[in-house]
Chain A
Amino acid sequence: MELTTVWFTVIAFLWTGFFVLEGFDFGVGMLAPALSRGEAERKQVLGTIGPVWDGNEVWLISAVGAMFAAFPAWYAGMLSEFYLPIVLVLVGLIVRGVGLEWRGKVHHASDRAWCDLGILIGSALPAFLWGAVFADLLHDSVTAMLVGGVFSVSLCLLHGAVFVALKTLGPVRARARRAALVLSAVALPAGVAALSGIPSAGTAAGGPDAPVWIWALALAATAALAAGVALTWRGRDGWAFTATASSVALTGAALFGALWPAPLPGLTLAEAASGPYALQTLTWIGLIALPFVVGYQAWSYWVFRKRLVAQPS
C-alpha cells in the first residue's frame, strides 16, 4: 500500500474516532437540559462524559495535526476555505470546554446557567458545522450542507441519548431512552437522505461510478442506525450503543471512502502529500504510539464503566 493511502486511512481513522467519541459528547451536551430535572440529575447526565470528553476531543486535534503533517495542502485548503464555519466550530469548542470544566467550580446558579448555555451551544455548533462542512466537500451545495448538518446533529443527539441510557440509572435513563426513540424520527430520515447521497457524490460531478463498497458502507450505516433504535426499544442499552457507534463509524468510513483520492475539489492526495521521508518516519512513530493511546483510553472507559445515579448535593 502506498504511503499516501496509509496516511489517508490514518486520518480517516482519527476523524472517525472523533465522530464516534465526541459524537456522544456533543449529544450529551445538547441533551443535558432536556434529560434532567434539577441540579442533581444535571450533574448525573454531564458526569457520564465528565472524565472522557477532553481525551475524546484530542482525536480531532490529532486528526487535524496528522492532516497538517501528511497532507499540508489539504489541511491548509480545507481550513482556509471554510474559514467562518471553522471560526464558529472553534468558538463552540471553547465555550463547551470551559463550560464543562468550570461548571463544577462556580457557586451560583446563574453562573451554572451560563456554563450550561456554553455546553449547549458549544456542542450544537460543532455537531452541525462538521456535518455541513463535510457534506459541502462532497456535494458543493447548500441543500447538501443543510442535510449534512441536520443529520450530524440528529445522529449526535441519538448517539448521546443512547450513551446516557447506557451510563445512568433512574429517571434519567428512562428519559434518555424515550428521547432516543423520539429523535429517531428525525435521525432516520436524515440518515437515509445524507447517507444515500455519499456514494453518488463523485458521480454527480461526472466522476466514475462509486465503488460497491461505499454503497455497502452507507447501507450498513443506515442499517446500524435502525438497529440502534430497535435495540433501544427492546431495552438493550449496551447493544444499542454498539449499534449507534457502528453507525457513526460506518458513516465516517463511507465519507472518507468517497473523499478518496481527491479530498478537496481539484486537489489529489498525491499533490497534497508530504515527502516520503516525513510520511515514513511518522508511520513508524504512529504505529508504535497509537496502540498505547487506544489502550489507555480504553482503560479509562473501563475505570468509569459503572452507571451513575443522581446524587443529591
Chain B
Amino acid sequence: MEALDLARWQFGVTTVYHFLFVPLTIGLGVFVAGLQTAWHRTGKEQYLRLTKFFGKLFLINFAMGVVTGIVQEFQFGMNWSEYSIFVGDVFGAPLALEALLAFFLESTFLGLWIFGWDKLPKRVHLATIWAAVIGSNLSAYFILAANAWMKHPVGYEVVDGKARMTDLWAVLTNSTALAQVPHVVAGAFIIAGGFVLAVCGYNILKERRTDPDRTVPMRRGAGSIWRTPMRAALVMTAIAGAVSAGTGDLSGKLLYEQQPMKLAAAEGLERDTAGAAFSPVPGVEIPMLLSFLATNAPDAVVRGAEDLQAEFAKKFGPGDYRPNVPVVYASFRVMITFGMATVGLSVLGLWLTRRRRTPAASREHPAPHGPVRGRRRTVRVPREIPSWFARACLLALPLPVLAMIAGWLLSEIGRQPWTVQGELLTAASVSPGVSLTEVAVSLAVFTLLYGLLAVAEAVLLVRYVKAGPEQVSPAPSTPAGGSGNGDATAVMLQPTLMY
C-alpha cells in the first residue's frame, strides 16, 4: 500500500460524496426558483408553500455541497502537488474563475434570499434566488471544463515540464467540455426531478392514507397540492433525459476520437474490430451497433484495448495503459440503465397524469356560457394519479443518483492511468512529500466525518419531507422602524427559513 493508492481512494470517496449533493443543488435550486416565480406571477398561496417547503430541503442539501466542495479545492494541492504544479497554469484558471464568477454570486445571493424575505421588495427577492442558481450552474460549467481538460487537453503547450496555457477560450470551449457540461447538468436535473418525484409520491401516498375523501375518486390526487410539483418534475426530468441522451451520444463519439481506451474498456473490446457489436449485458450482442454509435458508420473500426495497449507502450514507454476494465464496463451499463429507467418513468408519468377532456356541462364543471354551436364544449380536468405510480416514484430518488455515481466512475476510472490524458500519469501526480500515514489519517477523518454527516442529513431531510409544507402566515408586515435610537433601528430578523 502506497500513499498513491490512499490518495486515489480519498479523491474517489470525497468526490463521489461531494457529487451526491451538488446535482441536487443545481437542479433543485432552479426548481425552487421556478416555484417562487410561479407564486410571483399568480399570487397563489400553494406556490408559496411549495417554495418554502422545497426551499428548506434545498438549503439542507446546499450546506453539504458547500462544505464538501472546499475539500475538493484544497485536495489537489494536498495530495496531488506534482499534478497541481504541472497543470496549475491551465487547470487553475477555471477554478479561480469558478470562485470569482460563480461562488461569490451563489453564496452572497443565497444569503440574501434566505434572510431577505421581508427585507427586499418581492421582485428583487425573486431575483436573488435566480442569481444564486445561475451561480450554481456557472460553477458546474467551470469545474467541468477543468475536468474535461484532463481527458482532452487543449489550448496549451508543455514548457519546462509544465503545461502552459496558450488559449483560455480553447480551454473553455473544449469539445469534451461542451458535450460533458450539458450531459452532467442534465443528469443533475434528472436527480433533482427524481428527488421531487419521490417526495411528491411519498406525500400523495400519505395523503391517501389519511384523506377522508379517499372514496371520491375525482378528488384523489387531482386536488392535491403535490400534483403541480409532480407534473413540473416530470416535465423537467423528461426534458433533461432527452438532453442527457443526446449529449451522451455526443460524448461517446468524442470518446472514439479522444479517449479510445476508455471506449474500449466501456465495451470490453479487446481487439480492433470493424463493425463492432454493442452488448447491453454480457452475452447479448447487437451487431454493428457500437461502430454505429461511435461513428454513425456501422462498419467503422473501433479500437480494442489490447491493440491500444501495444500502441501506447510503443509511444509512451513500457507500462500498463489499460484502466480497470470490469469497473468501467459495469459502470457504463449501470449509468445507462438507471438513468434511462428514471427518464422512462417520467415519460410514463407525463402520460398518466395528462389532463382528460370531459363534457363541460357536467354538474362539477358547469359551462360558463352554455354549449357552443357546432361542437360540444369540453373542459380539461386533472386525471387521478394512480397509487402504483406514486409508489414507483420513490425509486426515482436512488436510481439517478446511482447512475450519476456510475457515470463518474466510468469517466474518471476510464481515464486511468492518466491524470492528464497522454501527458501526465496518475503515479507521477501524487505529492512526493506526503507520507502514507498522513494520507491515511486524512482519508479516515474525512470518511468518518462524511459518514456521520450523511446520516444527519438523511434524518433531517426525512423529517422535513414527512412534516410537509407549513401553512404560510398572511403577508408579513413591514418591519417597524424607529425605536428612537437614531440609526440603530431594531428589527426582527424574520426566522422565515433559518434561525
Q: If the complex has contacts A47-B493, A94-B70, are A75 and B92 also in contact, measured as CB distance less than 8 A? A: yes
A268 close to chain B: CB less than 8 A: no
Q: If the complex has contacts A65-B98, A90-B74, are A307 and B93 also in contact, measured as CB distance less than 8 A? A: no
- Give chain A residues whose Cβ lies under 8 Å from the Cβ of B56: 105
Provide the bound-state CA to CA distance between A285 and B169, in Å: 12
Q: How far is the CB of B100 from chain A (nearest CB, A)?
A: 5
Q: Return the chain A residue nearest B157 by Cβ.
A: A275
CB-CB contacts of A231-258 with B at 8 A, as 1s and 0s? 0000000000000000000000000000
Inter-chain contact A75/B490, CB cutoff 8 Å: no
Q: A-B contact count, CB below 8 Å?
A: 249
B495 close to chain A: CB less than 8 A: yes
B103 close to chain A: CB less than 8 A: yes
Q: If the complex has contacts A77-B81, A83-B438, are A68 and B95 also in contact, measured as CB distance less than 8 A? A: yes
Inter-chain contact A311/B490, CB cutoff 8 Å: no
Residue among A79, A274, A297 making CB contact with B92, cutoff 8 Å:
A274
List which B484-499 residues lie within 8 A (CB) of chain A: 485, 488-493, 495, 497-499
B433 close to chain A: CB less than 8 A: yes
Q: Return the chain A residue nearest B68 by Cβ.
A: A94
Q: Return the chain B residue nearest A296 by Cβ.
A: B108
Provide the bound-state CA to CA distance between A84 and B79, in Å: 11
Interface size classification for chain A? 35 or more
Q: How far is the CB of B117 from chain A (nearest CB, A)?
A: 11
Q: Jot down 10 A-B pairs with beta carbons below 8 A, ordered by A.
A: A51-B116, A66-B96, A77-B81, A79-B74, A80-B434, A102-B456, A105-B59, A308-B492, A309-B490, A311-B493
A87 close to chain B: CB less than 8 A: yes
Q: How far is the CB of A240 from chain B (nearest CB, A)?
A: 14
Residue among A103, A277, A290, A296 making CB contact with B165, cutoff 8 Å:
A277
B441 close to chain A: CB less than 8 A: yes
Inter-chain contact B116/A303, CB cutoff 8 Å: yes
List which B95-114 residues lie within 8 A (CB) of chain A: 95-101, 103-105, 107-112, 114
Q: Return the chain B residue nearest A66 by Cβ.
A: B96
Provide the bound-state CA to CA distance between A210 and B489, in Å: 47
List which A62-79 residues lie within 8 A (CB) of chain B: 62, 64-66, 68-73, 75-79
**Interface residues of A, dominant DSSP:** helix
Q: Return the chain A residue nearest B115 by Cβ.
A: A51
- Give chain A residues whose Cβ lies under 8 Å from the Cβ of B97: 282, 285
Partner-contacting stretch, out of A52-60, A137-145, A149-157, A181-189: A52-60
A146 close to chain B: CB less than 8 A: no
Provide the bound-state CA to CA distance between A80 and B492, in Å: 45
- Give chain B residues whose Cβ lies under 8 Å from the Cβ of A57: 66, 70, 107
Provide the bound-state CA to CA distance between A285 and B162, in Å: 23
Q: How far is the CB of B76 from chain A (nearest CB, A)?
A: 7
- Give chain A residues whose Cβ lies under 8 Å from the Cβ of B498: 50, 101, 103-105
Known: A80-B81, A303-B112. 13 other contacts (CB 8 A): A50-B111, A54-B107, A68-B92, A72-B85, A75-B92, A80-B433, A94-B71, A101-B59, A104-B495, A169-B490, A274-B88, A281-B165, A311-B492
A81 close to chain B: CB less than 8 A: yes
Q: How far is the CB of B358 from chain A (nearest CB, A)?
A: 43
- Give chain B residues whose Cβ lies under 8 Å from the Cβ of A52: 111
Inter-chain contact A62/B96, CB cutoff 8 Å: yes
Name which of B81, B99, B453 has the most chain A CB atoms within 10 A of its CB: B99
Inter-chain contact A274/B488, CB cutoff 8 Å: no
Inter-chain contact B431/A69, CB cutoff 8 Å: no
Provide the bound-state CA to CA distance between A73 and B168, in Å: 20
Q: How far is the CB of A17 from chain B (nearest CB, A)?
A: 11
Inter-chain contact B89/A55, CB cutoff 8 Å: no
Q: If the complex has contacts A98-B64, A290-B100, are A68 and B88 also in contact, measured as CB distance less than 8 A? A: yes
Inter-chain contact B489/A307, CB cutoff 8 Å: yes
- Give chain B residues whose Cβ lies under 8 Å from the Cβ of A75: 77, 84, 88, 92
Q: If the complex has contacts A90-B74, A104-B495, A303-B116, are A72 and B108 also in contact, measured as CB distance less than 8 A? A: no
A174 close to chain B: CB less than 8 A: no
The 9 closest A-B pairs by CB, nearest first: A72-B88, A69-B92, A79-B77, A101-B63, A76-B81, A68-B92, A76-B84, A104-B498, A97-B67
Inter-chain contact A275/B89, CB cutoff 8 Å: yes
Q: Return the chain A residue nearest B494 by Cβ.
A: A311
List which A86-129 residues lie within 8 A (CB) of chain B: 86-87, 90-91, 93-95, 97-98, 100-107
Inter-chain contact B164/A281, CB cutoff 8 Å: no
Q: How far is the CB of A236 from chain B (nearest CB, A)?
A: 13
B214 close to chain A: CB less than 8 A: no
Provide the bound-state CA to CA distance between A67 and B408, in Å: 27
Inter-chain contact B495/A313, CB cutoff 8 Å: yes
Q: How far is the CB of A13 from chain B (nearest CB, A)?
A: 12
Inter-chain contact B84/A51, CB cutoff 8 Å: no
Inter-chain contact A91/B445, CB cutoff 8 Å: yes
Residue among B67, B73, B90 making CB contact with A64, cutoff 8 Å:
B73
B460 close to chain A: CB less than 8 A: yes
Residue among A62, A103, A306 making CB contact with B499, cutoff 8 Å:
A103
Residue among A44, A81, A309 making CB contact with B433, cutoff 8 Å:
A81
- Give chain B residues whose Cβ lies under 8 Å from the Cβ of A285: 97, 100-101
Q: Return the chain A residue nearest B159 by Cβ.
A: A275
Residue among B84, B115, B479 making CB contact with A72, cutoff 8 Å:
B84
A293 close to chain B: CB less than 8 A: yes
Inter-chain contact B104/A93, CB cutoff 8 Å: no
Name which of A64, A73, A103, A107 has the most chain B CB atoms within 10 A of its CB: A64
Q: If the complex has contacts A102-B63, A275-B159, are A83 and B93 also in contact, measured as CB distance less than 8 A? A: no
Provide the bound-state CA to CA distance between A165 and B345, in Å: 55
Inter-chain contact B495/A43, CB cutoff 8 Å: yes
Inter-chain contact B84/A65, CB cutoff 8 Å: no
Provide the bound-state CA to CA distance between A72 and B446, in Å: 25
Provide the bound-state CA to CA distance between A274 and B162, in Å: 9
Provide the bound-state CA to CA distance between A271 and B165, in Å: 16
Inter-chain contact A62/B103, CB cutoff 8 Å: yes
Inter-chain contact B499/A83, CB cutoff 8 Å: no
Provide the bound-state CA to CA distance between A84 and B445, in Å: 11
Q: How far is the CB of A78 from chain B (nearest CB, A)?
A: 7
- Give chain B residues whose Cβ lies under 8 Å from the Cβ of A84: 438, 441-442
A211 close to chain B: CB less than 8 A: no
- Give chain A residues whose Cβ lies under 8 Å from the Cβ of B499: 43, 46-47, 50, 103-104
Inter-chain contact A83/B78, CB cutoff 8 Å: yes
- Give chain A residues whose Cβ lies under 8 Å from the Cβ of B85: 72-73, 76
Q: Return the chain A residue nearest B498 by Cβ.
A: A104
Q: How far is the CB of B107 from chain A (nearest CB, A)?
A: 4
- Give chain A residues whose Cβ lies under 8 Å from the Cβ of B73: 61, 64-65, 68
B380 close to chain A: CB less than 8 A: no
B334 close to chain A: CB less than 8 A: no
Provide the bound-state CA to CA distance between A262 and B111, in Å: 37
B1 close to chain A: CB less than 8 A: no
Inter-chain contact A169/B84, CB cutoff 8 Å: no
Q: How far is the CB of B237 from chain A (nearest CB, A)?
A: 26
Inter-chain contact A307/B67, CB cutoff 8 Å: no
A213 close to chain B: CB less than 8 A: no
Residue among A77, A289, A308 making CB contact with B493, cutoff 8 Å:
A308
B219 close to chain A: CB less than 8 A: no
Q: If the complex has contacts A72-B85, A73-B85, are A300 and B90 also in contact, measured as CB distance less than 8 A? A: no
Q: Return the chain A residue nearest B93 by Cβ.
A: A69
Q: Return the chain A residue nearest B155 by Cβ.
A: A277
